[in-house]
Amino acid sequence: MMGKKAAAGALHLLTAREVMAAPPGNHVDGGGLLLAVRKDADTGRVSRSWVYRYTVATTGRRREMGLGPALADSIKTAGEGMRLARDLAAQHRELVRRGLDPLAERDKRRDAERLADAQQTQLVARLQAEQARTLARVARDYHGRVIEPTRTTKHAAQWIASLENHIAPEVWHAPVDSITPPALLSALLKVRPHERARNLKGDRVPETLRRIRQRLDSIFEDAMFHGHATSNPAAAIRRKMREEAPAKEAGSLAASAYTEAPAVVLRLRSWPGTAARCFEFAILTVARTSEALTAEWSEFDLTAGTWLVPGAKMKAGEDHLVYLSARALEVVKGQAGQHARWVFPSAWKADATMSNMAMLTLRDRMGLKGRTTVHGLCRATFSTWANETGAARPDVIEACLAHQEGDRVRKAYMRAQFNAERRAVLSAWSDYLARPALALVAA
């Protein structure tokens, strides 16, 4: 102790000058605090540090705790460093008095600080991610992962463009989890009002808006699955879109009387070309024009006599199974060898389907312009025939037409129970269209 003899329990035994001049060794300051001076044998460098020694009350274990370097540049710095060391030693003595281990407590504190820092870092990162996770970013991510790998290049481009071009910026660039159903509904009801003027079906919600809502539904559902959103506002506004959309002038799609359909089909069968085959196939399967035009070989099970139209091509966005009559199956098999992918390929463009103009042109050449639309002949004529002749129950007819059922319970029942009836009514429709007497009378 540099020539001093410390009384029991004495404190603050060293002076600032003694700290500066202390030779190598341990120099007691009292109360467990000591100045440790070390000289490196190789370099001759002298280092000074403060050390607190204590005994753990619960275990009797003797421990040393470093309190930092002992400054010795000047009397002032040596004095300030010594006072700091004494304050720390006093805090640790209090812990020992309470039966705690200062080293263990320090480790706990450091662990808690590291945990707090990590949590703060995670919180900041999460907040930044949430701010960056806008509807636009989430939609483009979903488009890249799900839509692009499963759609044609053209359809994938149209899919994302319909959202980018129609959704207002204040919603499109908002955090995906902040978008409420009222805000989304308000934005969608402002989409291109002139679309409604061209809505010939008299639907309260035109096709453009319906498709946008369906696509948003898929995006929000995916966002919920990945924890980026807690709700699906696109699903919540489905009914409200119909309720709040302004009324539109009702119209109708012209359709031939079903008594004329056999004559039309008889003429189609004698007409050459892929357009005639596609037209007849659409009539036989009561398919929408786009579904028939884009039919792919991978969608058909020729052994089972079925055609599975994927949800991406369906108006309701759900897979639709069509049961092929013998004649419909014959039409499909007759197209074999024309194209590796498309059942009804274009005759003018490589690796492409026909355009809907092909069937419109054929309709006009057959003298049916003004008397029927392609869509009306393929679907409305069948519906009128089936309902008026009692060929099937109304629910079965609606299922054949793939009309969306709003009641989920009835929808599940239809899927489970109507398969045989759907096959039967489409077969009966094909037989009706092939009846020569009717065709000749109508002609």
Contact 177, 139 (CB under 8 A): no
Dihedral sign, Cα of residue 235, residue 240, residue 244, residue 249: positive
Whole-number Cα distances in Å, 231 to 37, 179, 180: 66, 9, 9
Question: pLDDT digits over 301-311, tens only?
Answer: 999 999 999 98
The CA distance from 67 to 74, in Å, is 19
Both tokens assigned to 294: 């884009």
Whole-model pTM? 0.45
Average pLDDT over residues 121-126: 66
Quote the longest CA-to-CA distance of the chain: 134
**Cα separation, 400 vs 321, whole angstroms:** 9
89-116 pLDDT, tens digit each: 999 999 999 999 999 999 999 999 889 8
Q: Is the pLDDT reported for residue 206 higher than 80?
A: no
Q: What is the pLDDT of residue 374?
A: 82
* pLDDT for res 197: 40
**Would you state the pLDDT for residue 203?**
45
Mean pLDDT of 32-50: 93
Comparing 7 with 88, the larger pLDDT belongs to: 88
DSSP single-letter state for residue 24:
S
Find out whether 353 and 345 touch, Cβ atoms under 8 Å: yes
- Mean pLDDT value across residues 134-151: 91
Predicted pLDDT of residue 92:
94
Amino acid at position 211, single letter: R
pLDDT, tens digit, 9 for 90 and up, residues 405-436 = 554 545 554 454 578 889 999 999 999 998 76
**Mean pLDDT calculated for residue range 267-285:** 91
> What's 312's DSSP letter?
G
pLDDT at 438 over 60: no
Using pLDDT thresholds of 50, 70 and 90, give the confidence band for residue 5.
Answer: low
What is the distance between the alpha carbons of residues 343 and 353, in angstroms, rounded to a whole number? Answer: 8
pLDDT of residue 409: 46
Predicted local distance difference test score (pLDDT) of residue 216: 94
Residue 184 CA, distance from chain mean position: 17
**How confident is residue 128, by pLDDT bands cut at 50, 70 and 90?**
low
Whether the CB-CB separation of 419 and 239 falls below 8 Å is answered with: no
Tokens at residue 20, please?
């500066």
Structural domains of the chain sorted by starting position, each given as residue range(s) with its CATH number in brackets: 16-105 (3.30.160), 135-244 (1.10.150), 258-442 (1.10.443.10)
